[in-house]
Amino acid sequence: MMTLSVVEVRNVSKRYGPTVALRGVSLELEAGRVLGVLGPNGSGKSTLMRLMAGLSQPSAGQIRILGEKPGPSTRARVAYVPEVDCLYPSLRVEEMLDLQARFFADFDRTQAAELLEFMHLTPRAAVRSLSKGQRARLKLILALARRADLILLDEPFSGIDPPSRERILQGILATHRGDRSLILSTHLVREAEKLFDRVVFLSKGEIFLAGDAEALRQERGMSIEEIFREEYN
């Protein structure tokens, strides 16, 4: 039986005026798999994630998410966590959860409550009082508590302390199920490497290396983090 491709990106390019953010990018992700999109800042990772989330349109090429062009219908089945902070500082943590539940019918309050405890967050805490690491954990809870088919995490470890990185990684591992797919973009590979089934390496908007994570480890005789350091040094 054929495995469903949750994500199909075919020869996608994206321009912002004269600037080329992506050039001829192609990738595919099967159901239940985890893809790492790796590269330094400015390599095109966030642009690719926004395109797959349906928040921007490609200048050329084609994207299909769950068999459809990214848009309102796919956004109902995709949980997207951008690198930028999208939280409301005037709300409490529990009010952010309420807001997410109103927007998305697949939001699981039981899962959210378990994740709050796991992430050491207090429901009545004001969002404005949270540290950067705590805010990153809250953003992750808002996504992981949804029963989404695809989760897109854009630089979830960026700029936060190592304990929060580890807690976020543990949260992803604890909630990842084989029936949904995950794409995680990062330039901090050490924390995320154990998650990856497949990886793509981006540089200046182009994929220059891609493959099965374990096969690359065997072929190169090094970890994905070591490959990353070798390729970008």
Identify whether 101 is part of a domain. no
Identify whether 94 is part of a domain. no
> How much is the average pLDDT of 216-230?
96
Residue with the larger pLDDT of the pair 11 and 85: 11
Res. 176: pLDDT tops 80: no
Identify whether 46 is part of a domain. yes
Identify whether 124 is part of a domain. no
- C-alpha 183/C-alpha 82 separation (Å) is 12
How many domains does the chain divide into? Answer: 1
Identify whether 129 is part of a domain. no
Which pLDDT does position 198 carry in this prediction? 96
Identify whether 32 is part of a domain. yes
Q: Write the pLDDT tens digit of every residue in 22-38.
A: 999 999 999 999 999 99
Q: Write the pLDDT tens digit of every residue in 95-128.
A: 999 999 999 999 999 999 999 999 999 999 999 9
Which pLDDT does position 3 carry in this prediction? 56
Which pLDDT does position 158 carry in this prediction? 82
Identify whether 9 is part of a domain. yes
Domain boundaries, position 175: 5-85+151-232
Which pLDDT does position 1 carry in this prediction? 42
Identify whether 25 is part of a domain. yes
What's 17's domain CATH number?
A: 3.40.50.300
pTM for the model stands at 0.93
